Structure 1
Amino acid sequence: MIGKYRDQFNSTFSEEKYSSFLKTLESGLTNIPFRVAETPIFIPSDLQKKLVEAGEEIIKLIKQPNFKELTKDSIPANWNVPNENEHPHFLTFDFGICKDPSGHLVPKLIEMQGFPSLYGFQPELGRIYKESYGLASGLTPFFNGINEQSYVDLLKKVVLGNYAPHQVALMDVDAPNQKTAIDFLITQKYLGIKILSLTDIFKEGDALFYEEKGEKVQLRRIYNRLIFDEVTDKTDLFIESFDPRDEIDVEWITHPNWFYRISKYTMPFLKSEFVPETHFLNTLTEIPADLENYVLKPLFSFAGMGVIIDVTKADVTKINDPENWILQRKVVYEPVIQSPDGGVKAEIRLMYLWADGEEPKLCINLARLSRGKMIGVRYNKDFDWVGGTVGLMEG
């Protein structure tokens, strides 16, 4: 979107450079099972300012004293985890890039999460884009004057706290085989922590342990990457390991309840030029006549699963749990990224770190390019110049 960088990038792009970039990205780590886009996004300063402003408006809501009361019904009763802390350690806000009536670029909120994203992978991705394509040294994926070292220092503070790396583990249901395993490995490189699957952990009393070279090591903190949606029908795994819903002597980074509190559930409470009109389905007094301008989303789903894009009245009326759905005005993405054969739509995720005793800090971003009906890798399998990427800004 910054014309001089886009023109230069496109004029010197080649498939050979792209292949070399991917090879470098995976080198010494693991194969990447999701599509990484050919190009970064070059974010202009006016759009950057609007993204920052939009994020600040959302954080104001999250910091309201009554936020927990507002979102008390967001947590499914069967997944309520005890000992919730006062704030999430991670915030991620996804914005579609659109145009306003005056033709200016404007971000529109699509999704939000109180859950970690690719906090290890994104700085590495930005650095390798710059190196592989010979991009200007002043371009950065970071906000607020952060550089790679200060970012890693803050990530350590958030994830490790006062504990040694061996007392902290990144946990997922089957960590080595997750699509995001490359992020896990880079995070381990930065922080020195363990990567554990759920069944690598066992419980004695109310303490959690893992085994290392025949010795048991107590876990004091879990950098949680486990989404409960993924284990709803696999709770037998808890018998082999531990049940997160039990009283256990461990700190969650971040606590699982925040996944639900800061989510699609939060969007109806936001009133902003950057947030599309959103309603809980059970609060509608009448179904809008122009349903073609809305999208229907289940509250408790992940990665776009269950979303109905072309909504009909029948879709709305057949829902038997309307309290678990939202109706949201569609966002019209503008194909603002110029590829060699036309425009591509973009989404930018703002990624915050919130250390204990401090304020949330906007650190880095994640971006996705799309030609399909929905943003997301699974919806763009047959296209090029799509997939995961990062936004670079002039420092």
Structure 2
Amino acid sequence: MIPSIRQAYNQQFTPARYADLLASLTVETGVTPAFRVAETPVFVPKALQEQLIAAGDAVIEVILRPDLTAITEAAIPKGQLVPKENHHAQFIIIDFAITRNEAGELAPQLIELQGFPSLFGFQELLARQYRRHTDVPDTYSTFGPGLDLQGYVELLRRCILGTHHPSNVILLEVMPQQQKTLIDFVCTEAMLGIPAVCVSDLIQEGKKLYYLRNGERVRVQRIYNRMISEDVAAHREQLGDIVNFQHELEVEWATHPNWYYRISKFLLPFIHGPFAPKAWFLHELPVLPQDLENYVLKPLFSFAGQGVIIDPTPADVEKIEDPENWILQQKVEYAAAIETPTGPAKCEIRLMYCWPDDAPAPILAQNLARLSKGKMIGVNYNRDLDWVGGSSCFFEP
């Protein structure tokens, strides 16, 4: 996005350097990424960075509303309410499409948000390896304002560990060894000393939870939650009998499962501004827009882009039996903003916030970028193309 840096990067790029980058990720973690890593980081100019931060701040203002829990009660599906909800989500992620405004300038448009962690461990590793194997200016950084590596790790420690010893904190997931994000779990354990534990391996005694470490039972006092209930349901037979989290347990959450639903697509209709495409709950729309092709239908309770209808028709709407669980959002046109040797790529930027238990508001900590040359953005798409996939943003100082 910064022409001089982009041109120099493309000219100096070689397939061998890219191969070394990928190999270094595997060597450091023992895991080969199960998703495509892009050949390039994204270099974000100051003007776009300022817009992104301002847009993120505006979204955070909605999350800080004192009536947030009241307006999001309907966001939690029936049977999924978990007791002992804490005061806020320790992690918030906000996704922005990079577009061009009427003046032709790069501008962010809100796509998605979640009260749920992202790849906080892996993104630090990826940025470090981009810097090692490619041409990244020394003064550019992927961290949030005022943070360096030490400050970033300490922020994650406050959010994930809280006041507990690492041995009493686990990363909880559904069959973690089979997840595409396994490499992130390995990075997190290397950084903080917490193991990834499958939900089926938890041991419950009364209200207490335990897991086995080196053959010995260890008390679980805090859960770094990477478990999504839809994933649990999809693998119910393989998991067998598991803990019923709808029962009260003596454990802390980071982030509590209820926040996954409260801070989600459900909030999009409440967010307004030049960076926010119009969005409505489908059941609250008295009349469908005549230009329905300029909108996208999104199910509230899905993840990783599943179920999204990009080019909806009135017939698609009529088929929906639970319109209260869908939103209609104005379509966003991504800009072909990243010049690559094989044609321009579109870009989506995820701002990743940490919110320690003792902090008054979320803190921008890290980012993630996804490059695409197709209709869908995300590491599950464009597999047969190059210069696409997961990436990092380096911000102009």
In structure 2, C-alpha distance between the alignment counterparts of 1:380 and 1:146, rounded to whole Å: 33
CA distance in 2, matches of 1:4, 1:123: 25
Amino acid at match of 2:384: D
Asked if structure 2 preserves the Cα contact closer than 8 Å seen for 1:168 and 1:222, the reply is: yes
Please report the RMSD computed on the Cα atoms of aligned residues, expressed in angstroms.
1.1
The equivalent residue for 2:120 is 119
Shift of 1:239: 5.7
Partner SS, residue 20 of structure 1: helix
| Aligned residue in 1 for 2:326 | 325
Matched, 1:227 2:232: no
Residues 75-133 of structure 1: CA deviation (Å, up to 9, x unaligned): 00111111111110000000000011011111000010000000001111111101101
1:236 CA drift (Å): 5.5
> What SS does structure 1 have at the residue aligned with 2:38?
coil
Q: Deviations over 1:15-65 (max 9, x none)?
A: 111111110111132011100000000000000000000000011111111
Identity over aligned residues, as a percent? 47
Q: Deviations over 1:207-258 (max 9, x none)?
A: 0001223321100001010011111244467764312211111001100010
Residue 366 in structure 1 maps to residue 365 in structure 2: no
Q: Distance in 2 between matches of 1:115 and 1:170?
A: 13
Residue 77 in structure 1 maps to residue 78 in structure 2: yes
2:391 maps to 389
**Residues 199 and 237 of structure 1 are in contact (CA less than 8 Å); yes or no, is this contact kept in structure 2?**
no
1:187 partner amino acid: T
Give the partner amino acid of 1:285: P
SS in 2 for 1:208: strand
- The answer to whether the 8 A contact 1:366-1:389 is kept is yes
Distance in 1 between residues matched to 2:181 and 2:170, nearest whole Å: 16
Higher mean alpha-carbon deviation, 360-369 vs 20-29, is at 20-29
The aligned counterpart of 1:296 is: 297
The residue number in structure 1 matching 2:276 is 275
Conserved in 2, the CA contact under 8 Å of 1:88 and 1:255? yes
- Please say if residues 202 and 240 of structure 1, whose CA atoms lie closer than 8 Å, have aligned partners that are also in contact: no
Higher mean Cα deviation, 52-61 or 129-138? Answer: 129-138
**Matched residue type, 2:20:** S
1:237 and 1:262 map into 2 onto residues whose CA distance is 29
Q: CA deviation at 1:267?
A: 0.1
SS in structure 1 of the partner of residue 380 of structure 2: helix
Q: Which runs of 5+ in 1 are unaligned?
A: none
Partner of 2:23: 23
Q: CA deviation at 1:394?
A: 2.6
Separation of aligned partners in 1, 2:215 and 2:36: 39
Work out whether residues 203 and 241 of structure 1, in 8 Å CA contact, stay in contact via their aligned partners in 2: no
| Distance in 2 of aligned mates of 1:27 and 1:115 | 28
Q: Is contact 2:200-2:240 (8 Å) kept?
A: no
Where do 4+ consecutive residues of structure 1 move more than 6 Å?
none
* Structure 2 CA distance for aligned equivalents of residues 59 and 320 of structure 1: 32
Corresponding residue number in structure 1 for 2:307? 306
CA distance in 2 between partners of 1:373 and 1:65 (Å)? 38
Please, what TM-score do these two structures have when normalized by structure 2? Answer: 0.97
8 Å contact from structure 1 (residues 10, 339) kept in 2? yes
How many residues align? The count is 395
1:198 touches 1:237 (CA, 8 Å); kept in 2? Answer: no
**Separation of aligned partners in 1, 2:160 and 2:235:** 27
1:231 alignment partner AA: V
Give structure 2 stretches of 5+ with no counterpart: none
The letter of the residue matching 1:194 is P
Aligned residue runs from structure 1 range 177-256, under 5 A: 177-235=178-236, 240-256=241-257
SS at the partner of 1:252? strand
Q: Check the 8 A contact 1:281/1:323 in 2, yes or no.
A: yes
Q: Secondary structure at the match of 1:139?
A: coil
